[in-house]
Amino acid sequence: MYVTQLSALRNYWYVIARSGDSTPKSVRLFGQDYVLWQSEGGEPVLTQPFCPHRGADLATAAIVVDKLICPYHGWQFDINGRCTAIPQLDPGLPIPPKAKLATWPVIEKYGLYWTCVGRPAVPGPPAWLEADELQWEIHVDFFEPWNASAFRIIDNNLDQSHPAFVHQNTFGNPNAPLVPKYELHRTTMGFRSRIPQQVGGVGPQMGIVDEDRSFSRIQEAELLGPLHTRIRLEYGGSPPDYCFYSTATPVDDTHSIYIRCSALAGDSTSQPYELFHSYSRRVVDEDRLVLEATNADFPIDIKSEVHLRCDLTTLEYRKVLARIDRTDVGQASTKLGDAPGDLRQTSP
C-alpha cells in the first residue's frame, strides 16, 4: 500500500516546517501542494497554493502585517482565507464571495509547525511525555527530505532486528543478531514495547566519548500515531536517559520529510548536545542509506511477508494500518488499535 491510498491518514497531524521558518513557503503533503504563511504577529495558517483570481503562486506572495498579498494583482487575504481587498474592484462593489482561499489549521508544538488536511481524528500532535511532563531538554535534531515512503521510515523506527547489520559502524553488532524476547502492550493510539538490550558504541549519546564501552538498557518503543513514534532509552539513572520523538511527513508516495526530536535527561555538562547530535547524524545516515532503497509499496496484509519472533512490533504496525484501512475515512473519531491489553510475543 502507498501512503496516498490510505485516505484516513489525512485525519492526523504532520510536521510541515520548523517554528520560525520564513514564510510564505510551499508545502507538499500526500501529493498535494499548499502554502504555509504566518502573519507578522506569528499566527500560522496553511492555504491553497494558488490565487483564486488568476492562479498566481502564493508562495511568492508578500506578507504585510496580517495579510497575504498576491504578487500578480495585489489581492489581499487574511489568515482565515477571506479576501479583504481587491485593488481593481470598482468603488462600492462588494468583494465576490468566491474570492477566498481554502485554509487548514496549523499548531505549533515542540519547535515545529503541524497541520491536519483532513478531518482531525485527534485534537493535535501526539503528546510527548518527556517534553510535556518531565521537562527534559528538547532539540529538533533532523528535519530533512528523504526519498523513502513514510511507512518505511516508521516501520524502521519500530524494527528491533536491523541494528545488528544496518548500524554495525555505530552501535550494531552482526555477531549478536538475536533479539531478546519481549512483550507488547496495546494502547488507545497504538502500542508500546519494552525490550532489554546490551549495546556498545552509544556512549556519545550520553556524553561519553568512549565508543567501546558497553551498556545495559531498556528500549521503550511506542507507536503514538500512524506515522509517529517515541523511542526511549533507559539506563537505570546513570548515565542519563534520552528519548527520540520521530515522525515522517508523507510528501507523496515515494518522498517524505524525516523529523526527529530528542529529549535529553542530562544537562549540557553530563550530556553535551553537540556530541549527541554528531553521533546521531552517523546513525541516521545509516538508516537513510537502506530506507531510500526500499520498496515504497508497503504491505499491510501480514500474509504477504515472512515474519519472525523478533518482528512483533513491526507485525503489529501492519495490523494497526490494516485496521485504519477498514475504518470509515469520514469518521473524525478514527482511533488506532483496539482496547488496551497485553500481547505476548508468539510466532506469527
| Average pLDDT across the chain, whole number | 91
- Its CATH architecture, for the domain 129-343, is Alpha-Beta Complex (3.90)
> What whole-number percentage of the chain has pLDDT above 70?
94
Decide: helix, strand or coil at residue 167. Answer: coil
What's the confidence (pLDDT) of residue 174?
92
3-115 maps to which CATH number? 2.102.10.10
What's the pLDDT band for 263 if we cut at 50, 70, 90? Answer: very high
What's the confidence (pLDDT) of residue 333?
41
What's the confidence (pLDDT) of residue 249?
98
Q: Could you report the per-residue pLDDT of 188-204, keeping only the tens digit for each? A: 889 999 999 988 888 88
What's the pLDDT band for 236 if we cut at 50, 70, 90? Answer: confident
Q: Could you report the per-residue pLDDT of 30-59, keeping only the tens digit for each? A: 999 999 999 988 899 999 999 999 999 999
pTM: 0.90
If we measure between CA atoms, which residue out of 235, 230, 245, 246 comes closest to residue 270? 235
Q: Residues, the chain, total? A: 348
Identical topology for domains 3-115 and 129-343: no
What's the confidence (pLDDT) of residue 33?
97
Q: What is the mean predicted confidence (pLDDT) over 312-326?
A: 94
What's the pLDDT band for 344 if we cut at 50, 70, 90? Answer: very low
If we measure between CA atoms, which residue out of 253, 222, 51 comes closest to residue 148? 253
Q: What are the Cα distances from residue 298, in Å, to 155, 204, 317? A: 10, 34, 11
| Every domain of the chain and the residues it spans | 3-115, 129-343
